[in-house]
Amino acid sequence: MRVNSFLKTAGACVVVSLALSSISYAIHLEPFIFSPMPRHKVQTPAMTELGKKLFFDRRLSGDGTTSCATCHNPEQGYSDGQDISQSYPSTRNWRNSPTLLNIGHQKYLFHDGRAQSLEDQALFPMMSAFEMNQNLDYLEEEIRSVPAYVEEFKKVFGDGDTTKEHMAIAIAAFERTLISENTPLERYLLGDEKALSADAKKGMDIFSGKAKCIECHYGPALADDRFHALNVPENPAYRDDPRYIATMRFVAKGWHFTDYRTLKEDPGRYLITMDRKDWKAFRTPPLLDIAKTAPYMHNGIYATLEETIDFFDRGGGQNNTVLKPLGLTDEEKRLLKVFMVEALSGEDRPFKYPVVP
C-alpha cells in the first residue's frame, strides 16, 4: 500500500488517494458532527437521562463499589488513566480501559471486537468476574426495589419492568451522547483555516503522508473498524502477576481456546475468530481526544504519545508484518504530536453528574 504525495481539502473532507495493486480508492478525514442513533428505537432525552443514572450507579456491581464510570471517568476522557483497567476486589483485569468518547461511531466494541452493539457491550462488564461481577437477574430485582427507577422505566419504556435488556438500551443511549465536541480539526475541515496552527497543519501533512497514520485512522472517528496484529509487547508490569495470568487464561477458556493453561500472552482478536491471522490483533482505536486518554495500547504499555509514536516509527512490535519503519525525524515526531494534541482535542465542557436514586 502506498500513499500518493498529495493532501487536499475537498468540500468538508481532507482526501488522500491510495493505490493497492490495481485498485484505487480514497480515505479521508471527516468533520465529526453527530453519533448515529440506534435502529431499533428512537432515543429520547428521558432514555438518555435514565442511562446516565445507571452509568453512575454502583448497584450495577456485585459488591456495590463500582459503576460504569469507575473505569470510564468523564474527567479522564471516559477512560480511567490506568495501564490496566480497574479490577473487581481481589482480581486483576488484563486490558486497558478504552475511551467511550465517540463510541457510537465504532462498528466493533472492546479491544477484541467481541460486541457489535452498545447494547450488547453494556452487559459484558457487569457480568465479568474481574470487572463488576454482578448477577444480572439479581440486579433486575435490585433496581426494581427502587421506586424512582420503576417510575423512570415506566416513563421510558411504557412499563416499570427493570429488565437487563432495558438497562442496556438506556446505558447505550447515554453512551451515544459522548462525543468530542468542536475539535479544531472539525472546524478546519468545515472551512476555518485559522482553526489549526502552522505546526498542526504540518503535523497533519505528516499524519497523512510520511507517518501513514491515515491508512488506519480516517473517517469521522479516525478509525478504520479493523483489527491489526502489530505485536505490541506484553506489559512487563503484569507479565508475572498471577492474578493477571489467571484472568487471561479464564477468558481464553471461556472462548474455548484449547491451550488456555499454557497461555503467556494476550491472543487478541484470535480468541473471537480462531483465525491465526488475528493472533495478537486488536481494534484500531479512534484518535479524537487521544491526548486525554493515556496510557495507550490495549495493555497500557505506553504512558505517553511520544512513546506510542516511537513504537510506530520503529515499525511496530518484533516480527509483525503490518508495519515498516517510518524514519521520522525528531522534528517530524514533534509536529505529529502537535497535530494529535492540538487538532484532535474537543472542547472541555462542564459535566453535570446525575443524582442516582
DSSP secondary structure of 265-323? S--BTHHHH--GGGTTBEEPPP-TTGGGS-SBSTT--B-SHHHHHHHHHTTSSTT-SS-
Residues 130-139, mean pLDDT to the nearest whole number: 97
On the question of pLDDT at 280 being above 80, the answer is yes
Domains of the chain as residue ranges with CATH: 2-30+181-232+280-343 (1.10.760.10), 45-175 (1.10.760.10), 242-277 (no CATH)
pLDDT tens for 322-340 read 999 999 999 999 999 999 9
Band the pLDDT of 320: cuts 50, 70, 90: very high
Q: Which of 27-31, 152-156, 311-315, 320-324 has the lowest mean pLDDT?
A: 27-31
How far apart are the C-alpha atoms of 186 and 289, rounded to whole Å?
12
Q: What is the pLDDT of residue 33?
A: 55
**Burial (CB count within 10 angstroms: exposed 0-12, middle 13-18, buried 19+), residue 283:** buried
**Burial (CB count within 10 angstroms: exposed 0-12, middle 13-18, buried 19+), residue 125:** buried
- CB neighbour list of residue 197: distance below 8 Å, 6 or more residues apart: 338, 342
pLDDT tens for 177-210 read 999 999 999 999 999 999 999 999 999 999 999 9
For residue 248, give the nearest of 77, 352, 111, 104 by alpha carbon.
111
For residue 96, give the nearest of 71, 132, 124 by alpha carbon.
71
Q: What is the pLDDT of residue 16?
A: 38
C-alpha cell read off for 65 = 463499589
